[in-house]
Structure formats: C-alpha cells, structure tokens
Chain A
Amino acid sequence: NAGVTQTPKFRVLKTGQSMTLLCAQDMNHEYMYWYRQDPGMGLRLIHYSVGEGTTAKGEVPDGYNVSRLKKQNFLLGLESAAPSQTSVYFCASSYSGWRESHEQFFGPGTRLTVL
C-alpha cells in the first residue's frame, strides 16, 4: 500500500498562475483533507471531504477550490496564485469519524512557492 501520495512534490508559480495539487489514497478512506503548514502556524485546514462528491470549507478556504470526483482522489486548485499561498500543503485521509480508528494519515507534502 502506498498510503497517501501527493503530486507534485515541489512547484514554483508566478503570481496569477493556476495549478492543481493531486492527492490519492489507497486505504479506502471516506474522509479526506487539505492542510497548509506555515512557519510557526501549525497545520490549518483548507477544505475537507466526507465522501465522494462532497466538499466543505475548513479554517482557511479563501483562494482555493477542491473536488472529490472519485473516493480515492482529492484535488486542490489554486485559480490565481498569490504570494500569500506560498506554503507546504499536506493532504490527509481517515476512516469516517464514527469508527474507533480516527487518526488521519498524511501524505509527504507539496512545497509551493509563489513569486
């Protein structure tokens, strides 16, 4: 099992450009999440999904869109990148919250720089 994988690992964008980050999990998890990590800020939730075809806003959703067309994939889109979106992005997945096993499994991260 690969667990949670993220594509790409690194990316440099110019202000105004768009891109999509791909997250894939092979653990048949219902829930998926996108976080960003900034120095001294911990992990902040951008968007999440509790199942195929569903998405919801997290703590810092502005400037991002997401889609979950397939259960195993969760895409994070930046329509018009800004320097404030320079960050490390982590995807995570978990079983549905009602199960005993509630921890989230994280991908290796995508380091994004917006110039």
Chain B
Amino acid sequence: DQQVKQNSPSLSVQEGRISILNCDYTNSMFDYFLWYKKYPAEGPTFLISISSIKDKNEDGRFTVFLNKSAKHLSLHIVPSQPGDSAVYFCAARKDGGSQGNLIFGKGTKLSVKP
C-alpha cells in the first residue's frame, strides 16, 4: 500500500513559468513532509520541508503548501529555470522522529524548457 503518492511521473514547463508538483498521502500520522531533488547519477538533495502544523513554507523560489484535510501537498517553483530540471521526490516522516524514517513517493521528473 503506497502511503505517499506522486501521480504524475513527468511534468514539462516553459522557463519562467510556474512549476507545480503534487503529492498525496494516506497516513494522517505523518508529522513532517519533505521535498528532495535528484539529478541523474547523483544522490537526492534536500530542498524544502513543512511541518504538519503549518500550511505553507517558502524558501526563495520554492514554496510548499500543505492541505491536511485533503492529505495533499504541492511544491511550487516560481519562476522555473532550466537548472530545475530533475526528479523531485516527496517524502513524509512518521514515528514522531524516533527513527527519522522517511516514506518516499515514486518521484516526478520535471523538465524546464528554455
């Protein structure tokens, strides 16, 4: 049973426009949500996170929105740049941090066209 779902395997956006990556989850016990970015042949790198007690977190061009009632979060990238082209993973943490374990979605491949 997939607890973290990224239903769009890929997304293509024009440079300068907004990219919106979506993530749905099923477990209401998740207390933190994170987004990771991964380039080919590299390890994932942390991008931004949000606590379950907040509904928005912003860091530069990146904003994450959390809708707890819908069990849905989204990552907005504005404006999108060609260097943002990568696979984006949504992840969720449970266990209150006692183990730090993350549950990852399958990822969405973002392509930003010049």
Contacts A42-B89, A42-B107, A43-B89 given; does A97 touch B100 at CB 8 Å? yes
Chain A 80-99 near chain B by CB (<8 Å), digits 1 or 0: 00000000001010101111
| Chain A positions within 8 Å of B96 at CB level | 97
Q: What is the number of residues of chain B that contact chain A, defined by CB distance less than 8 Å? A: 27
Does B49 reach chain A (CB closer than 8 Å)? Answer: yes
Q: In the complex, which residues of chain B have a beta carbon less than 8 angstroms from the beta carbon of A90?
A: 43-44
Q: Which residue of A lies closest to B49 (CB)?
A: A103
Interface residues on A, range: 20 to 34
Interface members, chain A 1-46 (any B CB < 8 Å): 4, 31, 33, 35, 40-45
Q: Using Cβ atoms and an 8 Å threshold, which residues of chain B touch A102?
A: 32, 34, 49, 93, 97, 100
B59: interface (CB < 8 Å): no
Shortest distance in angstroms between B33's beta carbon and chain A's nearest beta carbon? Answer: 11
The residues in B between 87 and 114 inclusive whose CB is less than 8 angstroms from any CB of A are 89, 91, 93, 95-102, 104-107
Closest 10 CB pairs of A and B: A97-B97, A106-B43, A97-B100, A42-B106, A103-B46, A43-B104, A42-B104, A31-B100, A106-B44, A108-B43
11 A–B contacts from the bound complex (CB under 8 Å): A40-B9, A41-B106, A42-B104, A48-B101, A96-B100, A97-B95, A97-B96, A97-B99, A98-B98, A107-B43, A109-B42
Q: Identify the B interface with A (CB < 8 A).
A: 6, 9, 32, 34, 36, 41-46, 49, 89, 91, 93, 95-102, 104-107
